[in-house]
């Protein structure tokens, strides 16, 4: 079994981007910039946003946090997004989800200029992904495909079973892997919570991607010998033996599934760090497009 080390690969990607930014600095060029907008006080969102800002600083990318309290209105947020659509110092705009309930998420996602939509959530970018045109790939699915590519795991003609159909992971990932190009070209099945006999599908997978948000759900009797297993889940489960009273785990029962898998990405330490690396990569891509670089 080979452990897929997302932390190591994400460091490689960040180092590659840092070299590009070092060169821009040496040439006294404008730098790529990311603005992150956080509304409300969701503790998990605060942790994620801080990680994103730290990652920008590490590679020398300029970044700004717009932190607004939970009473910030939908109109105010629409105006804020529009101000960054027109701000040439920022090439990427990330509105951290979930938003407070009084704000319509779809409206906000659609307000972000597709050319600065480094999350790849705007319907125009989603549409471009589905028809195979150039676009921003949502960061987590992009991270999964990049992990497979950097570990030389063949996807062409192989059966990938994606478990989970979210707009952030399952659906874009299935569309990415379907594309008729290098690093994709897979036969894709998407399963979800309404599947009558999930095991019937997962047992056929050459590559299984767990992205349903159910702790330790994928067990060893659900995968075939030698399958590649990618765990996208990050869940908190109670654990009295830890100081915090909980620990993080993925959607895969790693301890047992790893005995049967050929490759396996753990959680934490697999796909998670890749999400941030691909956000930086998308911001650099937005910069090259906007600045005609
Ligand atoms: N919340 C959880 N994941 C994400 C993500 O990838 N992007 C944004 N904007 N919010 C999130």
CATH of the domain at 269: 3.40.50.720
Residue with tokens 């969701």: 42
Distance between CA atoms of residues 219 and 254, nearest Å: 8
Q: What is the Cα–Cα distance from 279 to 13, expressed in whole angstroms?
A: 11
Confidence check: pLDDT of 115 > 90? yes
Q: Are residues 44 and 101 in the same domain?
A: yes
* Average pLDDT score over the chain: 97
Helices (runs of H) and strands (runs of E) counted in the chain: 10, 11
Q: Quick one: 262 and 199 in the same domain?
A: yes
CA-based Rg of the chain, rounded to a whole angstrom? 19
CB 183 within 8 A of CB 156: no
Residue 46 and residue 94 share a domain: yes
Could you tell me the residue range of the domain that residue 51 belongs to?
27-113
CATH of the domain at 68: 3.40.50.10860
Q: Is the pLDDT at 134 greater than 90, yes or no?
A: yes
Q: Are residues 108 and 148 in the same domain?
A: no
By three-state DSSP, how is residue 148 classified? helix
The structural domain count of the chain equals 2
Overall average pLDDT of the 39-47 stretch:
96
Q: Which atom of ligand 1 is nearest to the CA of 279?
A: 6
> Is there a domain that residue 238 lies in?
yes
Looking at residue 71, its pLDDT comes to: 97
- The answer to whether residues 258 and 183 belong to one domain is yes
Which of the four pLDDT bands, split at 50, 70 and 90, describes residue 192?
very high
pLDDT-based confidence at residue 293 (cuts at 50, 70, 90): confident
Measured distance CA(259)–CA(1) in Å, rounded: 7
Per-residue pLDDT, 266: 98
User: What 8-state DSSP symbol labels residue 28?
Assistant: T
Sorting pLDDT into bands at 50, 70 and 90, what band is 216? very high
Same domain, 50 and 173: no
Residue from 96, 139, 282 whose mutation best tests the ligand 1 pocket (most atoms within 8 A of CB): 96
**Protein residue with least CA distance to atom 8, ligand 1:** 96
Residue 52 is among the residues annotated as catalytic for this protein: yes
The active-site residue, picked from 117, 119, 231, 253, is: 119
- 117 Rama sector, left if φ>0, alpha if ψ -120 to 50, beta otherwise: beta
Residues with CB under 6 A from ligand 1: 94-97, 119, 139-140, 168
| Span 138-154, pLDDT tens digits | 999 999 999 999 999 99
Report the nearest-CA residue for atom 11 of ligand 1. Answer: 97
Residue 87 within any structural domain of the chain: yes
Query: Average of pLDDT values for 259-271?
Result: 98
* 291 domain residue, yes or no: no
In a domain, 126, yes or no: no
| DSSP 8-state symbol, 116 | G
């Amino acid at each position: 079994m080979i452990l897929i080390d997302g932390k190591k690969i994400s460091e490689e990607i960040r180092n590659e981007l840092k070299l590009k930014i070092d060169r821009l600095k040496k040439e006294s060029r404008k730098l790529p910039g990311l603005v992150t907008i956080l509304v409300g006080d969701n503790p998990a969102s605060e942790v994620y946003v801080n990680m994103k800002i730290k990652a920008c600083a590490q590679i020398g990318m300029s970044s700004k946090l717009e932190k607004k309290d939970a009473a910030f209105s939908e109109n105010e947020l629409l105006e804020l997004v529009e101000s960054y659509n027109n701000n040439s110092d920022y090439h990427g705009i990330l509105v951290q989800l979930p938003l407070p309930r009084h704000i319509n998420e779809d409206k906000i996602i659609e307000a972000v200029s597709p050319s600065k939509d480094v999350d790849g959530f705007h319907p125009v970018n989603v549409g471009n992904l589905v028809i195979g045109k150039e676009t921003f790939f949502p960061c987590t699915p992009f991270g999964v495909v990049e992990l497979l590519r950097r570990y030389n795991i063949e996807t062409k003609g192989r059966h990938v079973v994606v478990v989970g159909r979210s707009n952030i992971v399952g659906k874009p990932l299935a569309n990415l892997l379907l594309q008729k190009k290098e690093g994709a070209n897979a036969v894709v099945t998407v399963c979800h919570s309404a599947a009558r006999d999930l095991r019937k599908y997962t047992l056929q997978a050459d590559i299984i991607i767990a992205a349903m948000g159910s702790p330790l759900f994928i067990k060893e009797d659900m995968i075939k010998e030698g399958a590649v297993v990618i765990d996208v889940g990050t869940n908190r489960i109670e654990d009295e033996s830890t100081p915090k009273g909980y620990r993080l785990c993925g959607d895969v029962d790693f301890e047992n599934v790893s005995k049967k898998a050929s490759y396996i990405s753990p959680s934490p330490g697999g796909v998670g760090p890749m999400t941030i690396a691909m956000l930086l990569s998308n911001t650099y891509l937005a910069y090259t497009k906007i600045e005609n670089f």
